[in-house]
Amino acid sequence: MFANGLTRYSDETEYRPDDFLTREEATKIIGQAYTVLGYAQTEKNQSCTFADSTTFEPTLSGFILDTCKR
C-alpha cells in the first residue's frame, strides 16, 4: 500500500503494516478503484460534512470528500 501511495505515511520508515487501515486510506483506495475500474465520476451526494473533519489526515482528506460525493 505504501508503494502505491495509499497510506498516510511519507516514507517507508514510517510505514508499519500492522497498523489499522485509516478511514482516509480506505477512501483513497475506494476512490482510486472507482476511477481505475471506470465507474461514473458523477457527483450523487452533496452532503459531505463530517463532525470530525479537522482530525482527517491533511494529505488524504480530499479523498474522503471525493468518495463521499460519488
Q: Residue 52: its pLDDT value, please?
A: 86
Max alpha carbon distance in the chain (Å)? 39
CB atoms closer than 10 angstroms to residue 57: 16
Its pTM stands at 0.60
Give the range of the structural domain holding residue 18, as residue numbers without chain letter.
1-70
pLDDT digits (tens, 9 = 90+) for 51-66: 888 888 888 788 888 8
With DSSP H G I counted as helix, E B as strand and the rest as coil, what are the percentages for the chain, rounded to 5?
Answer: 35, 0, 65
Neighbours of 65 (CB within 10 A): 15
Split into its structural domains, the chain has a count of 1
